[in-house]
Amino acid sequence: MEYENEGKKPDVLHRSREQRYFFDRIFKSNNTTQDVYERTCSHLIDSVIKGYNACVFAYGTTGSGKTYTMTGTTETPGIMYLIIEDMFHQILEDSEKSYDIRVSYVEIYNEVIRDLLVPNSKDTYLDLRDDPMKGVCLAGVTEFSVKEPKEIMDLLVSGNKRRTTESTKANLTSSRSHAILQIQLAIKDKTKNTE
């Protein structure tokens, strides 16, 4: 390839340094997690049950409420729990199929992946592997089969207690890691010998 100005990089990627962000929804401080869930995530459940992948993530500054919005507490569950609750509700209405729901919960901190569902996993790290059947996966991650939404909330609460935290000027118990709850849904027809 010859460049018009020899010795000078081509102006292929002319990008402005200015970044612009657009918001689908903006919520006031008096909105509940339920409000946020219904207006941003609830429509995903139908697609997931039909076999499509979906991803929900929270992004924002330290102390803005990402962890609370996503995981919540036992008294006020977050988006993760609300997704599972709706998923179970729809699954119970389907009498023609059987469902297997498995969850895993990990954190990524300083480029290290840890299993949050295993006690004393502070020094045990997970590796990303390329599996010929599953694709990219976490080797050795714990997957729990769940039968009801409360089991998910219990796993989230115990997993959050194992997350890496550190005080910052904005938040005394800031979650210093990225947490990922993965939900795998396997569906089979109840008719014999079909999947």
What is the per-residue pLDDT for 177? 75
d(CA 193, CA 84): 28
Instruction: State which amino acid sits at residue 114.
Output: R
Sign of the Cα torsion 55, 88, 156, 121 reads: negative
- Per-residue model confidence as pLDDT tens for the chain (195 residues): 444 445 555 454 555 567 776 777 778 888 889 999 999 999 999 999 888 989 888 877 777 788 888 888 878 888 988 998 999 999 888 888 888 999 999 998 888 899 999 887 677 788 888 888 878 888 889 999 999 888 988 888 888 888 876 655 555 555 567 888 888 888 888 776 655
Predicted structure pTM score: 0.72
Residue pLDDT, tens place only, 155-185: 888 888 888 766 555 555 555 678 888 888 8
| Domain 33-189 bears CATH identifier 3.50.50.60 | no
Residues, the chain:
195
